[in-house]
Amino acid sequence: MPKRKDEAPTEDMVRLDEAAGVLGVSRSTLQRMLKQGNVRGFKVGRQWRFRRSDLDKFGRMSHPSAAGVKVSDLRRIVASLLEQSQVTGEVQFESAPKGFPATEEEAAIDSLLKTMLAAAARDGASDIHLDPTRQGTSVRFRLDGVLHQITELPSYAHKPLVVCVKQHAHLPIDQDQTAQDGRFRFTLDGVECDARVATLPSIHGESVVMRLLPQVAQLLTLDSPRLGMCPADLERFRRLLHAPCGLILISGPSGSGKTSLMYAALQHIANTEIKTFTIEDPVEFAFRWVTQVSVNVKAGFTFEHAMRAVSRHDPDVIMLGDTRTLAVADMAARHAMTGHLVMTTIHANSAAGAIRRMLDMGAEPFSLAESLICVVSMRLVRVVCEQCGAPDQPNYTILSSLAEAAKAGGYQLPENPQFRRGPGCDACRTSGYHGLTAIYEVMEVTPEIKRLIAARAPIEQLREAAVKNGMTTLTANGLRKAAEGITTVAEVARLLPEEPK
C-alpha cells in the first residue's frame, strides 16, 4: 500500500473505519481503493487518516449519474404515487447515512425511495421489486402474493436509486457486479418496519428487492382469520403442540406462511415454566419468554453449531428456522427423541412430501418415524374482496376436477355452495381479491403412519393413511374455503393445479 508523503493537514480528519462508513464501503474495499489511488489518504504514524472534504468529493464523483436526474420528473412520479396510495405520513429512517443527500438531485431520489416505502407499507405490500429494463425501471409491489405494476421510472433514475437504497442499507456502493444483502429500518405513522435488501447484477443494471417486515405489536394467533385453520385442524394442532416431546414439521414453498404459523405456535406455548429457544436466519420478531438465536454463516455459526450450543442450555422447546441439510435434520430428530419438542420448517409441497423430503435428505427412517408427531403443509390463498365480492358460478370443468380431488382428500362439496368472486374495484386494485388466508393439511403421525415411514412407503400410501385418520388435503381445504365464499375456485386451481406430491 503506497504511503503518501504529504504532511497531514490540520483540518478535521477521520479514521479508516469511519471513512469506510462515510463512503458506504467495507474496510477491505477502502484499503483497495487506497492502493489503486482512487481515494486520498494520509499516513499518521501507522494509521491512515482521511479529510472529510476529500471523502465528500469522492462520494459525489462515485455516482455521477445523480447529476443527470431530472428533479421535476421525479416530483411528478412522487405526487402520482402519493395520490394512488393516499399516503399522508412521511417515512423516517432509523439511521440515515452521513452526508446524504447532499444535492437537490440526491434529495429527489431519496424522496422517491421514501414515497415508495410509504406506498408499499400503506398498501400492505410484502415486497418492492426494482427491475431495470432497456426502457427504464419497473417498480412492482407484491400484494396478496401477486406482483402488481406500480409505476415505471426513467432509465436515468435507476443507478442513483440503487445507490440510495445501498446507502441506507450500509452496502458498498462501488460494487455492482456481485449480489449483496443488507437491511435498514424505517418508521411510518409510528409503526416500525424492517426492510431486507437484496441486489443482483443483471444485463441492464442491478435488480433490487426490498422485503418489508412491519414490527407490529401484536402477531397472529393460532385462531386468527388470516391463519384460517378450520376447527378440527386447530384442535389437533393445539393438542400436539402440548406434547412433551416430538418433531413437528411445517412445510410449504417460500412465501406460504410457514414462519407466521411457527410464530403463532410460539405465542401459544411460550411461558415462564418452559425454556424455549429459536434458531433463525435472521430473527424477525422478538418474543417474551423466548431466547432467540440468529445464525451467522460468515462467522461459522451455522444452524448445526447453534443446535449443539442450544442443547447445552437445558431447552424444553426448540424452533428451527429451516431444515435444509442432513445434519440439521438428524439433530432435530435426535433432540425430539430425547425429551424436547422441536418445530422446524421444510420446503415440500405436501405433508406426505415433507416426510419423503426428510428421507431423501438421508434421515434414518426409524429415527424419523420415532420422533415425528405432526406434519403441517400450507399455502396462502387470496381472499375475495369484501367491497366488490358477489355470487359466482365457477367454470364447470375446473370445479369438477377440484371436487373429485377434494372428495379423495376428505371433503365432499355441499349441495348449495356459496361461491363468490369480485369483478374488481379501487379497494382491491381491480384484482377482485383483498387479503390472504391459509389452507392446510394437518397430518397427525399415527402408529400406522410410523410403520409406513419406517418402511419408506411411497407418498400416495402416506397420504391415504393420513386421510383415513381424519386429515383433509390441501385441495379439499381449498375447495371448502371456495364453497364458503372466502376464496375462489380459480384461486385454488391456480395454486394447486393438481394434487401436490
The backbone torsions φ and ψ at residue 452, rounded to the nearest 5 degrees and listed phi first, read: -65, -40
The C-alpha cell of 342 is what? 422441536
Question: DSSP label at 296?
Answer: B
Question: Does residue 308 surpass a pLDDT of 60?
Answer: yes
Task: Bin 408: left if φ > 0, else alpha if -120 < ψ < 50, else beta.
Answer: alpha
pLDDT at 64 (0 to 100): 46
Residues 6+ apart with CB under 8 A from 395: 489, 490
pLDDT of residue 12: 74
* Overall fold of domain 231-382+436-471: Rossmann fold (3.40.50)
pLDDT in tens, 220-248: 889 888 888 999 999 999 999 999 999 99
Which CATH code, of 1.10.1060.10, 3.30.450.90, 3.40.228.10, 3.30.1020.10, is assigned to 64-214?
3.30.450.90
pLDDT on residue 175: 79
263 vs 278: CA distance, rounded Å: 10
- Read off the pLDDT of each residue in 395-418 and give the average, rounded to a whole number: 92
Which residue in 493, 451, 499 sits closest to 474, CA to CA?
499
What kind and span of H or E run contains 215? none
Cα 149–Cα 155–Cα 156 angle in degrees, nearest 5: 135
Q: What is the share, in percent, of the chain residues with pLDDT greater than 70?
A: 93
Helix (H) or strand (E) holding 93, with range, is strand 92-93
Whether 40 has a pLDDT exceeding 90, the answer reads no
Identify the band that residue 177 occupies on the pLDDT scale cut at 50, 70 and 90. confident
Torsion of CA 320, 326, 327, 332, to 10 degrees: 40
Please report the pLDDT score of residue 218 as a whole number.
57
Alpha helices by DSSP H, listed for 71-156, are 71-85, 104-123
Q: Is the pLDDT of residue 254 over 70?
A: yes
Q: Write out the three cell numbers for 483.
A: 364453497
Q: Tell me, what's the pLDDT at 399?
A: 93
Tell me the C-alpha distance between 449 and 452, whole Å: 5
For the chain, count helices (H), then strands (E): 17, 19
pLDDT tens for residues 209-218?
999 988 764 5
What is the Cα gyration radius of the chain?
A: 26
- Which range is least confidently modeled, 39-48, 237-246, 265-274? 39-48
Cα–Cα–Cα angle for 96, 292, 263, rounded to 5 degrees: 95
Sign of the dihedral defined by the CA atoms of residues 473, 475, 476, 477, in that order: positive
> 3-class secondary structure for 473-485?
CHHHHHHHHHHCC
* pLDDT > 50? residue 341: yes
Under DSSP, is residue 130 helix (H, G, I), strand (E, B) or coil? Answer: strand
pLDDT averaged over every residue in the chain: 88
For position 67, what pLDDT does the model report? 58
Q: Which residue has the cell 419423503?
A: 356
Helices 303-311/326-337 angle, 10° precision: 20
95 — pLDDT class (breaks 50, 70, 90): confident
b/e 486-499 (16+ beta carbons within 10 angstroms → b): bbbbbbbbebbeeb
What pLDDT is attached to residue 226? 83
Q: Could you tell me which residue, 89 or 50, shows the higher pLDDT?
A: 50
Residue of 294, 287, 293, 259 whose CA lies nearest to 272:
287
Q: Report residue 49: phi and psi, to 5°.
A: -130, 150
For 138-176, the DSSP string reads EEEEEETTEEEEEEEEEGGGHHHHHHHHHHHHT--TT--
C-alpha 255/C-alpha 283 separation (Å) is 16
Residue 121 near residue 137 (C-beta atoms within 8 A): no
